[in-house]
Amino acid sequence: MSRSAATGRAPLWRDRTFGTYWIAQSLSAAGDSFAYLAVPLLVLQATGSVAQMGLLTAVAGAASVVAGVFGGVLVDRYDRRTLMIVADLTRLVLYSLVPLAWLAGAQVWLLFVVLPICEAAGMVFQVAAVTAVRNLVDRDRITEANGRLQATYAAAAVLGPLLAGVVAARFGPATAIAVNAGSFALSAAGLWLIRLRPVQVDLDAVTPRQRPLAEFLAGARFLWRQPVLRALTVLLSVFIFLTYGFIDVLIYHVTHDLGGSEGTVGTVLGLAALGTVAGALLVAPLRRRRGFGATWIGAHAICGFAVAGVGIATTVPAVTALTAVYLCCLSVGGICSMSLRQEITPDHLLGRVTSAFWSTHYALGPAGAVVLTWAAGRHGTSVVTLAAGAGCLLVAIGGLFTPVRRAGAEPAAAQPGMRAAPAGGTVGG
């Protein structure tokens, strides 16, 4: 008998509200993946300058980081569904301006206005999307729901750029941007059709509104005071330092050491991305059978072996297989971490805790990428991947000596004495 049948509930895929949300998220992810390829193609077509694309990426990235810090405050203050719809409509309008402006000729300056705002809106959307899962499904189905969503995101990350490339080649990058804009209209329409469950508010924890930075720090304090989340944040910060530049090193290894072409790199990454899909589908049954600690620690240990193996692999198929294993385990570990955070964080703090976690988690990533890629060019990929892989294995071993090993049995964040508030509504009144 299936788990759903045993509990008298319909399978998650038959839940109409979750299904509609799932479709809306898939369309939004497809739009993001279209822009991932279409925007750089548009800049290169107009200027022929990779430096211009790098500058645009830097400006957009800075806007995303700032939005990530304060996005959690917005998500905890206001209705989460409404924020997601506004983010989609913002991107619809701004991305639609690009193909219209291009009818009069290349307008590169417009991208420096549009892309940072769209990246900021996209970050707010992502924070709201993570917190909204708590308002869609029961606590014991959060991991399953996240797995299905992440599998779809992975598929979009593979198919989106491929389709964007076809459209751009046939009709031009500006047309691909127009298709990207249309995906956000469909996503907003899907979100309009659903209603989220009420946010559970701890009456004793309700405080008046404060300045945005103070509210963000409230999420950071919860993250640091919760033993499991604190340990995960520290361990994952080290892990991201070691692996943030892994794909760059992989590309260098395939092209420089193995003599592969750009097409070879695309094939390797496309096939390896299937590992992300596999991990997203496997994570829920693995966690049910093995528990959070064993699943998370095991996934990151295998990541270490896979990273170490990529640099010493001498054939493209071997690199592809090892990268797929790495992405599969990265997916398992990431979904486990996100699900646990959703389960044990009070609903009215979830947006701010998510922002604090992401801001801290990724803070060391850029520095790690610089170190990893510099070392690969100077000392070779095999030395660097062996060192990074050993570091990842130490992160997994470190988890054995923290509360992560026993995690997964925490009580639900919503306890007696809490009452419902409008989903994502203001805590302070």
Same-domain check for residues 327 and 378: yes
Burial of 266 (0-12, 13-18, 19+ CB in 10 A): middle
399: region left, alpha or beta (phi > 0 left; psi from -120 to 50 alpha): alpha
182-196, 295-309, 348-362: the lowest-pLDDT one: 348-362
Confidence tier at 345 by pLDDT (50, 70, 90): confident
The confidence score (pLDDT) of residue 132 equals 78
pLDDT at position 78, please?
A: 79
Report the distance separating Cα 362 and Cα 257, nearest Å.
Answer: 29
Write down which residue in 141, 170, 197 finishes a domain: 197
Among 136, 143, 118, which Cα is nearest to 32's?
118
Which residue has tokens 């919503």? Answer: 414
CB 271 within 8 A of CB 154: no
Q: What is the pLDDT of residues 51-97, one digit of tens each?
A: 565 567 667 766 777 777 777 778 777 788 888 899 999 999 999 98
Compare 429 and 324 and report the one with higher pLDDT. 324
Top-ranked range on mean pLDDT: pick from 28-42, 112-126, 315-329, 410-424: 315-329
CB 372 within 8 A of CB 248: yes
Encoded tokens for 158: 């593979």
CA distance 6 to 4: 5
Q: How confident is the model at residue 300 (pLDDT cuts 50, 70, 90)?
A: very high
Residue 216 falls inside a structural domain: yes
Q: What is the number of structural domains in the chain?
A: 2
Q: How confident is the model at residue 21 (pLDDT cuts 50, 70, 90)?
A: confident
pLDDT at position 396, please?
A: 95
pLDDT top residue among 409 and 28: 28
* Same domain? 130 vs 241: no
- What single-letter DSSP state applies at residue 199? E
Longest dimension (CA), the chain: 64
For residue 297, name the pLDDT band (cuts at 50, 70, 90): very high
> Quick one: 182 and 311 in the same domain?
no
C-alpha span between 29 and 164 (Å, rounded):
13
Q: Find the angle CA(293)-CA(297)-CA(300) to the nearest 5 degrees.
A: 150
Q: Between the CA of residue 190 and those of 133, 209, 299, 427, what are the distances in Å? A: 15, 31, 34, 27
- Band of residue 391 on the pLDDT scale cut at 50, 70, 90: very high
Residue 427 confidence (pLDDT): 30
Given a contact cutoff of 8 angstroms between Cβ atoms, the answer to whether 388 and 310 are in contact is: no
Query: Does 234 lie in the same domain as 120?
Result: no
Does residue 1 form part of some domain? Answer: no
* Residue 136 pLDDT level (bands cut at 50, 70, 90): confident
Pair (82, 56) in one structural domain: yes
In a domain, 135, yes or no: yes
Residues 375, 309: Cα–Cα separation, whole Å: 17
Check: CB of residue 361 under 8 Å from CB of residue 237. Answer: yes
Q: Does residue 259 share a domain with residue 369?
A: yes
Residue 368 lies in a domain: yes
In a domain, 3, yes or no: no
CATH code for position 142: 1.20.1250.20
For 197-216, what is the mean pLDDT? 57
In 3D, which of 179, 284, 303 has the Cα closest to residue 243? 303
How far from 424 is each of 26, 92, 200, 272, 378, CA to CA, in Å? 22, 23, 9, 37, 50
Task: For residues 348 and 427, state if they share a domain.
Answer: yes
- Out of 10-24, 204-218, 230-244, which region has the weakest mean confidence (pLDDT)? 204-218
Domain of 66 in residue numbering reads as: 9-197
Q: Give the ranges where 133-226 is alpha helix by DSSP (H).
A: 142-171, 173-192, 212-225
Please tell me the least confidently modeled range out of 55-64, 133-142, 225-234. Answer: 55-64
> Of 197, 224, 258, which residue is a domain's last?
197
> Quick one: average pLDDT of 337-351?
81
Based on the domain organization, do 182 and 235 belong to the same domain? Answer: no
The one-character DSSP state at 105 is S
Same domain for 185 and 227, yes or no, is: no
Q: For residue 180, give Cα distances in angstroms to 44, 99, 109, 176, 229.
A: 18, 11, 19, 6, 36
Shared-domain flag, residues 96 and 230: no
The neighbouring-strand residues paired with 420 are: 200
Q: Which of 302, 307, 300, 305 is nearest to 248 (CA)?
A: 307
Residue 254: pLDDT over 60: yes
Residue 397, in any domain of the structure: yes
Structure confidence at residue 6 (pLDDT): 44
Highest-scoring range by mean pLDDT, 286-295, 359-368, 400-409: 286-295
| 2 occurs within a structural domain | no
What is the predicted pLDDT for the residue at 429?
Answer: 33
Question: Which of 197, 217, 245 marks a domain boundary?
Answer: 197
pLDDT number for residue 55: 64
Query: What is the overall mean pLDDT for the chain?
Result: 77
Residue 418 pairs with which residues in a beta bridge? 202
132 and 256 assigned to the same domain:
no
Instruction: Tokens for 52, please give them.
Output: 């211009």
Q: Which amino acid is at 290?
A: R
More confident: 289 or 25: 289
**422: three-class secondary structure by DSSP:** coil
Query: Is the distance from CB of 327 to CB of 265 less than 8 angstroms?
Result: no
Asked whether the beta carbons of 153 and 130 are under 8 A apart, the reply is: no
pLDDT at position 209 is 55
- The residue type of 415 is Q
Tokens of 239: 């892990």
One domain for residues 154 and 271: no
Name which residue leads in pLDDT, 162 or 108. 108
Assigned domain for 4 exists = no
The tokens for 407 are 């995690």
